């Protein structure tokens, strides 16, 4: 049971972070389908940082450096979307998809190049970071507390305040609802949209890092992040683009994702004798069902997906 | 200057020509980026590696061997062509079918199950692949039409659900000792698509079947349906403006579902003509969706969203993907091709901007010429007037 809570919380943290990323981007008016690719790149940045940090550094320094690396890489990668979608008015779905393919491919190429450079026989795409990962975890009895759970919670609160209580957040939302109106009162729509995309890149990258450190101490980048970026988008839609609802939705989805990891610990579930693949499918099935119920009265930002053109009426 | 440049200008104005130029630019820039990445990884062999990717089967010195691997590339390209047609068909109706990958998986599962477990002949297997994949696509379509579920997200979810289901289903017909399904040639020969002598053209490559020409024929059919029929017109109208289509008496919900079913069927057909050649067995522990469907997106956009264009772009994408396996593996990895094709998709996002930019330059030039022309005409008139005055 304790294990289930632990996994639920950590997967929920991933989903909260990435879904908030999507939320910021969409409130500014840019659909970010590319979160999956951004997660992979962020994870890569964090993993490499953990790999190359000298052993024996103080835990807070390690945590800070690793987070910084993944956030930065995620932001830089999301700029690809920003430039194409905002400056060049490209189709946002298409560019996002390109990001999703580009992220894992680039990560595999890079990791393999590093591994092969270390030893010629090593053609795997795995990065090991067992040592550095320990600094994220505090053992409380049998419960493994991960600092990321706290960070995700804090960021959730911060996102709520930023979106609803600050000038910046309200302006951001205006750009996603009616960019022409926002422009007419002197808000720079392009700048706001860049800000939204960059924030989503940073949060997405951080989410990727949390995902790969959730249970394991090495990551094979060929696997990508198994559709988690899209699950996060489902969480965002289920949460109706509102931070608090996103947090609750993430907990629900996290629970189902955690079940596939730990269902063997529950006698009642084992007695059902379902194949393990059913549990693997569960989060995706649940998200489809949930989407059916909430999409009809969707409260998506009105101008999302439409490139802003100053000259357009 | 006048006549010649006038003709040239009209060529540059031509939309199709602009698309071809844009696609070629995407390819060149994509390859260049790939080359730069190779240079960064290891400057020593970068030139050789990028040549290996471009050459693909020409890597083999003997003509017979090259021909054989050309055949293999063609078989894979035909499956890719079907996936890209699937993406294209949906995109023309305003739907982004990222689920081609999942529909392809469902098609593969259906045809292998019918072939290996039920022992059906190839045409039944192929039909099963098309039908089951069409249902998978139809689910996304129905969710979009009735519940307003974003088709991109529902497609991705269905990709994973499909993958796990197919893995579960095909475990029944798996080899005892390996994670792969039994081979069709040893279990059920009748499920193999006939060659009709095509294998002889490609140095007895038995995987080259009538599937390859069938895929090209399908591309032509898709073009005819989209451009020359009332049905295709209705679908496109629905994609342009759902409300307007409804107002005109088209059943927009039915059209959306039908589109996704056709798109799914196309992807399933691709899976059928690939797996029913026996070229590859399904690995039932697969943890990621095959790249075929995602590469289909690249091919569809690189082909300028034209069914005939995708025939060439699919071949190109498959050509460099296969070529990636020939790079020197002590220095680089095969995924470099994936990186290049992913970057090409990214560049395709700029095509629209490129066209606008090109047209703007042409407009400016024409304006300038028109202005010049007026001036010279004025001068000529003035000169004539003077002459007339004198006479």
Question: Is residue A302 in a domain?
Answer: no
Question: Is residue A309 in a domain?
Answer: no
Tens digits of per-residue pLDDT, A222-241? 777 878 888 898 899 888 89
Question: Is residue B368 in a domain?
Answer: no
Distance between CA atoms of A191 and B324, rounded to whole angstroms?
A: 40
Distance between CA atoms of A292 and A295, rounded to whole angstroms?
A: 6
Distance between CA atoms of B391 and B379, rounded to whole angstroms?
A: 18
Distance (Å) from the alpha carbon of B131 to chain A's nearest alpha carbon: 22
Question: Distances from the Cα of B81 to the Cαs of A33, A68, B328, in angstroms?
Answer: 24, 42, 28
pLDDT at A266 over 80: no
Question: Is residue A308 in a domain?
Answer: no
Contacts of B154 in chain A (CB under 8 A): 288, 291
pLDDT at A71 over 70: yes
Instruction: Give the pLDDT of residue A240.
Output: 87
Strands A143-146 and A137-140: antiparallel
Average pLDDT of chain A is 87
Distance (Å) from the alpha carbon of B248 to chain A's nearest alpha carbon: 24
Of A99, A123, A280, the CB nearest to B164: A280
Question: Is residue B385 in a domain?
Answer: no
In this structure, are residues B294 and A33 in contact, taking their beta carbons and an 8 Å threshold?
Answer: no
> Which tokens sit at A49?
């940082």
Contacts of B161 in chain A (CB under 8 A): 281, 284-285, 288
Q: Do A113 and B342 touch (CB under 8 A)?
A: no
pLDDT at B388 over 60: no
User: What are the CB-based long-range contacts (under 8 Å, 24+) for A259-265?
Assistant: A259/A4, A261/A7, A261/A215, A262/A3, A262/A4, A262/A7, A265/A1, A265/A3, A265/A4
Distance between CA atoms of B294 and B272, rounded to whole angstroms?
A: 17
Question: Is residue B386 in a domain?
Answer: no
- Report the CATH number that the domain containing residue A52 is assigned in CATH: 1.10.3470
pLDDT band of residue A161 (cuts 50, 70, 90) is: very high
Distance between CA atoms of A185 and A121, rounded to whole angstroms?
A: 61
In this structure, are residues B110 and B268 in contact, taking their beta carbons and an 8 Å threshold?
Answer: yes
More confident residue, A266 or B162: B162
Angle made by CA atoms A132, A134, A140, in degrees to the nearest 5: 165
Distance between CA atoms of B205 and B196, rounded to whole angstroms?
A: 12
Distance (Å) from the alpha carbon of B327 to chain A's nearest alpha carbon: 13
pLDDT at B158 over 50: yes
Q: Do B353 and A288 touch (CB under 8 A)?
A: no
**Mutation target vs B (from A26, A31, A113; most B CBs, 10 A cutoff):** A113
In three-state secondary structure terms, B180 is strand
**Mutation target vs B (from A98, A106, A117; most B CBs, 10 A cutoff):** A98
pLDDT at A269 over 80: no
Contacts of A298 in chain B (CB under 8 A): 148
Tens digits of per-residue pLDDT, A162-216? 999 999 999 999 999 999 999 899 899 999 999 999 999 999 999 999 998 877 7
Q: Residues B200-208: what's their mean pLDDT?
A: 83
> Which tokens sit at A193?
């949209």
Helices A189-212, A147-165: inter-axial angle, 10-degree rounding:
160
Percent of chain A with pLDDT over 90: 37
In this structure, are residues B59 and B205 in contact, taking their beta carbons and an 8 Å threshold?
Answer: no
Nearest alpha carbon to residue A129 among A19, A209, A196: A209
Question: Is residue B40 in a domain?
Answer: yes
Distance between CA atoms of B167 and B354, rounded to whole angstroms?
A: 43
Tens digits of per-residue pLDDT, B15-59? 888 888 889 999 999 999 989 988 888 888 788 888 888 888 887
Contacts of A234 in chain B (CB under 8 A): 153, 157
Instruction: Give the pLDDT of residue B331.
Output: 76
Question: Is residue A304 in a domain?
Answer: no
Q: Which residue of A has its CA nearest to B333?
A: A109
pLDDT at B137 over 70: yes
pLDDT at B312 over 90: yes
Q: Do B333 and A113 touch (CB under 8 A)?
A: yes
In three-state secondary structure terms, A266 is coil
Tens digits of per-residue pLDDT, B277-311? 988 889 888 888 888 888 898 899 889 889 999 99
Q: Do B148 and A33 touch (CB under 8 A)?
A: no
pLDDT at B259 over 50: yes
In three-state secondary structure terms, B87 is helix
In this structure, are residues A39 and A225 in contact, taking their beta carbons and an 8 Å threshold?
Answer: yes
Q: Residues A284-305: what's their mean pLDDT?
A: 84
pLDDT at A313 over 60: no
Q: Do B149 and A295 touch (CB under 8 A)?
A: yes
Question: Is residue A299 in a domain?
Answer: no
Q: Do A101 and B341 touch (CB under 8 A)?
A: yes
- Report the CATH number that the domain containing residue B77 is assigned in CATH: 1.10.3470
Q: How many CB atoms lie within 10 A of CB B353?
A: 16
Overall number of domains in chain A: 1
Instruction: Give the pLDDT of residue B3.
Output: 45
pLDDT band of residue B2 (cuts 50, 70, 90) is: very low
Of A123, A281, A296, the CB nearest to B148: A296
Q: Which residue of A has its CA nearest to B340?
A: A102
Distance between CA atoms of B2 and B14, rounded to whole angstroms?
A: 19
Q: How many CB atoms lie within 10 A of CB B22?
A: 21
**Mutation target vs A (from B160, B162, B352, B354; most A CBs, 10 A cutoff):** B160
What is the domain range of residue A205? 2-138+150-294
Q: Do A98 and B348 touch (CB under 8 A)?
A: yes
Overall number of domains in chain B: 1
Distance between CA atoms of B275 and B105, rounded to whole angstroms?
A: 10
Instruction: Give the pLDDT of residue B222.
Output: 95
What is the domain range of residue B131? 2-359
Q: Residues A76-82: what's their mean pLDDT?
A: 93
Distance between CA atoms of B279 and B290, rounded to whole angstroms?
A: 15
Q: Do A230 and B156 touch (CB under 8 A)?
A: yes
pLDDT band of residue B390 (cuts 50, 70, 90) is: low
> Which tokens sit at B66?
């090259």
pLDDT band of residue B74 (cuts 50, 70, 90) is: very high
Distance (Å) from the alpha carbon of B229 to chain A's nearest alpha carbon: 28
């Amino acid at each position: 049971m304790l294990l289930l809570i632990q996994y639920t919380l950590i997967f929920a943290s991933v989903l909260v972070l990435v879904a908030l990323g999507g939320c910021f981007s969409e409130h500014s008016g840019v659909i970010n389908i590319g979160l999956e690719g951004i997660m992979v790149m962020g994870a890569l940045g964090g993993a490499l940082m953990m790999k190359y940090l000298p052993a024996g550094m103080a835990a807070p320094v390690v945590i800070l450096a690793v987070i910084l690396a993944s956030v930065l890489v995620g932001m830089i990668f999301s700029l690809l979307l920003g430039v194409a979608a905002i400056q060049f008015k490209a189709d946002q779905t298409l560019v996002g998809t390109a990001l999703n393919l580009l992220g894992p491919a680039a990560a595999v190429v890079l990791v393999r190049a590093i591994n092969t450079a270390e030893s010629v026989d090593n053609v795997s795409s795995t990065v090991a970071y067992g040592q550095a990962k320990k600094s994220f975890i505090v053992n409380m009895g049998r419960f493994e507390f991960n600092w990321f759970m706290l960070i995700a919670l804090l960021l959730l609160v911060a996102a709520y305040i930023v979106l609803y209580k600050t000038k910046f957040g309200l302006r951001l939302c205006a750009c996603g609802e009616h960019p022409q109106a926002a422009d007419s009162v002197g808000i720079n729509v392009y700048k706001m949209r860049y800000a939204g995309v960059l924030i989503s890149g940073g949060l997405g990258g951080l989410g990727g890092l949390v995902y790969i450190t959730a249970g394991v101490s090495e990551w094979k980048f060929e696997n990508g992040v198994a559709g988690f970026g899209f699950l996060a988008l489902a969480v965002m839609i289920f949460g109706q683009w509102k931070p608090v609802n996103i947090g609750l939705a993430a907990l629900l989805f996290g629970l189902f994702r955690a079940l596939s990891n730990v269902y063997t610990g529950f006698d009642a579930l084992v007695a059902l004798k379902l194949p393990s693949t059913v549990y693997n499918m569960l989060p995706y099935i649940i998200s489809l069902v949930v989407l059916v119920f909430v999409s009809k009265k969707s409260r998506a930002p009105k101008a999302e997906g439409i490139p802003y053109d100053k000259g357009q009426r | 200057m006048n006549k010649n440049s006038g003709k040239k200008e009209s060529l540059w104005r031509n939309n199709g020509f602009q698309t071809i130029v844009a696609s070629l630019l995407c390819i060149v820039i994509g390859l260049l980026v790939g080359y730069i990445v190779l240079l960064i990884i290891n400057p020593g062999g970068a030139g050789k590696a990028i040549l290996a990717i471009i050459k693909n089967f020409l890597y083999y010195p003997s003509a017979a061997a090259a021909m054989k691997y050309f055949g293999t590339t063609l078989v894979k390209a035909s499956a890719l062509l079907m996936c890209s047609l699937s993406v294209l068909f949906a995109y023309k109706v305003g739907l982004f079918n990222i689920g081609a990958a999942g529909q392809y998986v469902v098609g593969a599962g259906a045809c292998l199950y019918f072939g290996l477990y039920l022992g059906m002949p190839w045409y039944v297997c192929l039909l099963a692949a098309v039908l089951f994949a069409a249902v998978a696509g139809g689910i996304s379509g129905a969710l979009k039409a009735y519940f307003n579920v974003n088709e991109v997200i529902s497609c991705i979810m269905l990709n994973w659900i499909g993958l796990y289901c197919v893995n579960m289903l095909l475990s029944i017909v798996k080899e005892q000792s390996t994670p792969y399904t039994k081979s069709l040639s040893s279990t059920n020969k009748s499920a193999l698509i006939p060659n009709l002598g095509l294998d002889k053209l490609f140095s007895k490559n038995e995987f080259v079947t009538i599937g390859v020409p069938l895929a090209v024929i399908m591309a032509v059919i898709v073009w005819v349906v989209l451009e020359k029929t009332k049905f295709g017109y209705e679908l496109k109208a629905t994609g342009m403006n759902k409300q307007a289509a409804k107002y005109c008496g088209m059943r927009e919900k039915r059209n959306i579902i039908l589109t996704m079913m056709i798109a799914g069927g196309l992807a399933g057909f691709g899976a059928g003509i690939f797996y029913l050649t026996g070229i590859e067995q399904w690995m039932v522990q697969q943890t990621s969706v095959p790249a075929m469907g995602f590469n289909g997106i690249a091919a569809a956009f690189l082909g300028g969203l034209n069914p005939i264009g995708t025939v060439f772009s699919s071949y190109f994408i498959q050509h460099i993907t296969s070529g990636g396996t020939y790079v020197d593996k002590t220095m680089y990895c095969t995924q470099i091709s994936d990186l290049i094709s992913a970057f090409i998709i990214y560049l395709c996002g700029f095509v629209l901007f490129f066209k606008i930019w090109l047209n703007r330059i042409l407009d400016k030039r024409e304006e300038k010429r028109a202005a010049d022309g007026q001036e010279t005409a004025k001068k000529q008139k003035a000169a004539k007037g003077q002459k007339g005055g004198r006479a």
